[in-house]
Amino acid sequence: MPTMSKAEHRDAIDRACRRIDSSQTAPDLATLAAEAGLSPWHFQRVFKATVGLSPKRYAMARREQDFGRRLAGARSVTDAIYDAGYSASSAAYRDSLALGMQPASLRAGGANETIRHATASTRLGPILVAATERGICMVEFGAAKALLEQLRARFPRARLESADQQLGDWLERVVNTIDAPRLDAGLPLDIRGTAFQRRVWHALTRLAPGETVSYGELARRLKAPSSTRAVARACATNGIAVLVPCHRVVAADGALTGYKWGIERKRKLLALEQETAGTKPAGARARAAR
């Protein structure tokens, strides 16, 4: 079998993603690999390296997205299950574990789910860290009262519990990641979003402290060069500050734009990271490149 170039690999994976997106029932690995002209093992490896998810997990994420959307307006959970293309309710309940809650709970706004939260002070202001059993589901900057209101708004039917002691270690590691940036905080994340949002957020977690990338470049790295606006929207809807480092995405000219938690905080985060990494600020690098 002839060796493919990197560009051919990207094209093959883009076609596979479109095939999965448009299929009522996700094609199996052997079918996708054959259509790409690769062995199943090679296709699996290239797909995961490109997308950040295995083909199976990508297909599940797409179906989860459709399932979650249908649940909100469905007459019943059963209707949503079959409308989303599941052949059995057991498959929907299995996939829903990746959403962090059972389907009925998701439809009810997170009812019966327990989310523990704690607050701390950082060099960039107060933060709230919230977590499910699966991992951290929210990191927000802001005033303490406003932060709790944001948590309630995001999970309106969940059971919220203050848990300073239980989250003590995780909270400390988040603070350290802000105050003394390092490559990986080593914390589990309960990331909830569409398949595309997850691709963007996963790509962000692979950026090193002090490294910046433009929205357009990030779209190109995702092999979706026309999705710059969608990348920007994904960054704007990120609910896990710093651990999913959308502050490392800048404008094409290096300008610091579009940060959910404020441009000045973005500037300080990057300055702390670049000081630790020994690199120039994003704007200085952009000016030097001109």
21 domain residue, yes or no: yes
Q: pLDDT tens digits, residue range 183-200?
A: 566 788 888 777 788 888
Are 72 and 62 in contact by the 8 Å Cβ rule? The answer is no
Same domain, 87 and 150: no
**Which of the two residues, 110 and 184, has the higher pLDDT score?**
184
**Domain tally, the chain:** 3
pLDDT computed for residue 95 by the predictor: 52
Q: Return left, alpha or beta for 155; rule: phi > 0 is left, psi -120 to 50 is alpha, else beta.
A: beta
70 domain residue, yes or no: yes
217 domain residue, yes or no: yes
Does the pLDDT at position 103 exceed 50? Answer: no
Could you give phi then psi for residue 274, rounded to 5 degrees? -70, -30
Same domain, 135 and 201: no
DSSP 240: B
53, 75, 107 — which closes off a domain? 107
pLDDT computed for residue 111 by the predictor: 56
3-state secondary structure 4-23: CCHHHHHHHHHHHHHHHHHC
pLDDT computed for residue 141 by the predictor: 94
Strands (DSSP E) contained in the chain are: 114-122, 125-131, 136-141, 159-162, 213-214, 249-250
Does the pLDDT at position 221 exceed 50? Answer: yes
DSSP 279: -
Count Cα atoms within 13 angstroms, Cβ side, for 267.
8
Closest CA to 201 of 239, 175, 228, 174: 239
The single residue of 17, 137, 235, 246 carrying the catalytic annotation is: 246
- CA of residue 159 relative to chain centroid, distance: 23
Check which CATH number belongs to the domain holding 140 and give it.
Answer: 3.30.160.70
Check which CATH number belongs to the domain holding 40 and give it.
Answer: 1.10.10.60
Are 80 and 67 in contact by the 8 Å Cβ rule? The answer is yes
pTM (two decimals): 0.62
pLDDT computed for residue 58 by the predictor: 77
Strand bridging mode 136-141 / 125-131: antiparallel
- Residue written as tokens 């997205």? 65
80, 107, 134 — which closes off a domain? 107
Q: Is 246 a residue of the active site?
A: yes
Q: pLDDT tens digits, residue range 135-149?
A: 899 999 988 778 989
47 domain residue, yes or no: yes
Strand order across the 136-141 sheet: 136-141, 125-131, 114-122, 159-162
User: Which residues constitute the domain of residue 239?
Assistant: 195-289
77, 107, 137 — which closes off a domain? 107
222 domain residue, yes or no: yes
Check which CATH number belongs to the domain holding 237 and give it.
Answer: 1.10.10.10
